[in-house]
Amino acid sequence: MTDGSGEHPGLKAGVRIDHEPAVLDGCPAVELPDPCALVIFGASGDLTRRKLIPALYYLYQNDFLPPAFLILGTARTRMTDDAFRDALRGGTRSAHPEVFDEETWSAFSQKIFYHPLDYRDPASYRELFKRIEKCETGRRTGRNRIYYLAVPPTLYETIAEQLGESGLARQEKGYARIIIEKPFGRDLASARELNAHLHRYFQEDQIFRIDHYLGKETVQNILIFRFMNSIFEPVWNWRYIDHVQITAAETLGVENRAGYYEGAGVLRDMFQNHMMQLLALTAMEPPTYFNADRVRNEKIKIFRSLRPFDLDRLGETLVLGQYGPGEVDGEKLRGYREEPGVADDSITPTYAAACFFVDNWRWQGVPFYLRSGKRLPRRVTEIAIQFKAIPHLMLRAVTDESIAPNVLILRIQPDERIMIAFQTKKPGFKSCLRPVMMDFSYPDAAGGIALDSYERVLLDGMLGDPMLFVREEGVELTWSLLTPVLEMIENREMHFPLFSYPAGSSGPAEADSLLEHEEDHWRKL
C-alpha cells in the first residue's frame, strides 16, 4: 500500500515503488485434450463410482473435456448401457451435491457406455476391440485411447498382455495410453517384473503410473512456492533448516480393505509412493525448465541421494505401530487385529515414523521425519519446515521464555493452506513475545476452478502430460530403499518391535523419540 504519493510509508525519502505488485485478472485458458476414448477396466467397482466418473463429470461441466469424448466401462458384471449410467448417477450426485445438475448429467451420460469382459479371455478382448470401434464411429475421437486399470494389482499384467496381444496397445492413427493405480509392485523384484511386463506391450511414454496425492493443488503449488519466491529458496538448505516433518495422518482404520492391507501395511501403502513423492518435491533442486522431464529428473536425483537404512541400527531410525482398541468421543473402536479379515497374530504395521537423510550438499545432516498412520486423532497431510533456533537470545536478561523456532507449514489436506509461524512483541509489553501465524488459505484466496486430485490426473493423462505421474526409475529406486527394511520387519524371527497404540491416539509413544533428537547424535547416524 502507498500513501497516495507513490512512496511507501516507512521507507527512506527518495525510495519509490513505481508500481504495486501485479495482480493477474486471469490465467491462460486450460488446454483442452485431444478427442479420445477412455476405457475403464473394473468399471463396476467403487473407485469408478466414487472417484473416476464424478471427476470426469466435473471436468465436463467446466468445459475441460473435448467435445469428441467417450467413456467405455468394462468389467465382469453384465449390464446394459442404461443400467451402468443409472448406477453411476448416485455416486456423482453424492460427490458433487452442490453443483450436480440433472440436465448436465443427462448430456454427459450419453457419452458413457458399458461392455462386459472376461479379463483373462483373449476372445473377450476381440469383442472389446469391436465395441470400441463401434463407439468411436461418428464421434471423431481420432482412435486415441486411454485404458484406465481400476482393478486389483493382480490383474495389471493380465490386462496389459491381453491389450497388447489383441492389438489395442498399438499406436497407428492415434495414441494408446495405460493408466495404472498404485501399488506398483510390493517390493523391488515385483516392481521390476511389472515394469518389464508392461514394456513388452507399451513404451514408457505410454505408461502413466498414477499417484493421486500428486494431483492435489497444494502439492503442485510446492514447486511454485519454492522456486518462484526469492525470499524462500535462499534459506531452503542445511544452513537455515533444522529438520523437516512430513505427516500423513488418517482417522479411519483399515475399514473394508483388510484383504489388501494385510499384505501391504503402512510402508507399502503410504511410504513407497505418497510420502516419498512429497519428500522429493520438498528436497529437489530447481529444474532448469518447468516441464515433466526436467522435474522428474530432479526427483530421481533425490531418490538416488537418499541414505540407505542401517539395518543393524534400524530401531534408531524407524518406529512401527499397530492400533489397538480405543475410544473417541465415547465411541469404542476396535483394534486392527479385531478387524474383519485380519489375522489374530498380525504383525502388519498401521503406523510408521522414520528418519531419512538426503546425502547431497543442500541437505547434508538435515533429518527428514516421515510419519503416517491409521486411527490417529485427526486427518491431516502436511509438510512442516522447521528452521534453526536463533543463535543468540538478546532478551535473556529480561525473559526466560524459550523462543519457538520459525516453522513453515504446507498443508495438503483437509484444508489446503500455507502457514508461517514467527515471533512478535506483545502489545503494551517491552519484552514479552507471542508467536503468531501468517495463514494463506488456498481454496479461499486462490480463485479459479480448483481441480481435485483425480480430476487433475485424469486431465493430465488425456493431455499426455506425465509431470504428476511416476516414472519407472523412480518406482524402482524407492522400492530399492524400502525392500531391505520390509524383508527385515516381516521376518518374524528377527523380532523387530511393533508397538501398540490405542485407536484415536497420536501413535506409539516410542515414535516421539525420533523427534527428540540430539543434534550431534543425528548428524553421526
Q: Any idea which residue has 479379463 for its cell? A: 119
Question: Which of 416, 393, 406 lies closest to 437, judged by CA?
Answer: 406
For residue 367, give Cα distances in angstroms to 148, 355, 373, 386: 38, 6, 20, 11
Q: Which three cell numbers stand for residue 496?
A: 523387530
> Which residues on adjacent β-strands are paired with residue 374?
none
DSSP string, 231-274: TTGGGSSTTTEEEEEEEEE-SS--TT-HHHHTTTHHIIIIIIII
Three-state secondary structure call for residue 41: strand
- Exposed/middle/buried for 99, CB within 10 Å: 0-12, 13-18, 19+? exposed
Name the DSSP class of 306: B
Which run of H or of E encompasses 186? none
For residue 215, give Cα distances in angstroms to 13, 149, 211, 255: 47, 18, 8, 24
For residue 147, give Cα distances in angstroms to 66, 125, 176: 17, 13, 8
Contact present, 352 and 514 (Cβ < 8 Å) = no
Active-site residue flag, 199 = no
**Rounded distance, CA 149 to CA 39, Å?**
9
**Rounded distance, CA 47 to CA 454, Å?**
11
Question: Which of 29, 27, 34 lies closest to 465, judged by CA?
Answer: 34
Q: Any idea which residue has 491416539 for its cell? A: 505
Q: Which three cell numbers stand for residue 447?
A: 480463485
Q: In Å, how far from its chain's centre is CA 116? A: 32
**Rounded distance, CA 119 to CA 101, Å?**
35
Which of the residues 19, 96, 274, 392 is marked catalytic?
274
> Which residues on adjacent β-strands are paired with residue 178?
147, 207
Contact present, 357 and 315 (Cβ < 8 Å) = no
> Which residues on adjacent β-strands are paired with residue 293?
none
Three-state secondary structure call for residue 190: helix
Give catalytic residue positions.
Answer: 274
